[in-house]
Amino acid sequence: MRLSTRGRYAVMAMVELAARQERAAKPAPGKNPAPVSLAEIAAAQMLSLAYLEQLFGPLRRAGLVASARGPGGGYRLARSASQISVSDIVDAVDEPIRATRCDSEGEDGGPGCIGGRRCITHDLWAELGEQIRLFLEGVTLEDVVQGEVLGRATAPRRRELTRV
């Protein structure tokens, strides 16, 4: 399974934004943290500024970031980093988390299916995609910034395989 550039760049940019907000001086009570410009994020993560501009519109519409216009403007997280999951970010930029090559959940195949039917391993890959989605739902921006991602994945309990 591959996450496209769109999803990866959105996550990288949001982690950079969260890290910068965490490092910045704590604002006075009732005040918002200073906004961070997309140019700063692009330079720090070596990403295309034009591409980031395309990604931050959907992130803003999803309520993940807030924008500030004018000199010294930029973006800040709209919620706490502990309340934004990686899955929220990927979903906001319309990046499907799917390990199958088709779009079908039904018996008949969809685009990418072989001969118009679901392939024999469809359910395996569909379940993998679901496990990835569940994992990303459980990882927040705060977790990534704090380096607390490793060791979160747990293997499902292995069923005893019986031989005939």
- 8 A C-beta contact, residue 21 and residue 81: yes
Q: Residue type for 5, please?
A: T
pLDDT at residue number 112 = 60
Q: Residue type for 84, please?
A: I
Least confident of 8-12, 24-28, 40-44: 24-28
Write down the domain spans for the chain.
Answer: 5-96+141-145
What SS3 state is found at 77?
A: strand
CATH for the 5-96+141-145 domain, from 2.60.40.420, 1.10.10.10, 3.30.200.20, 3.10.290.10: 1.10.10.10
What percentage of residues in the chain have a pLDDT greater than 90? 51
Burial class for 72, CB neighbours closer than 10 Å (0-12, 13-18, 19+): exposed
The tens digit of pLDDT for each residue in 132-147 reads: 889 999 999 999 999 9
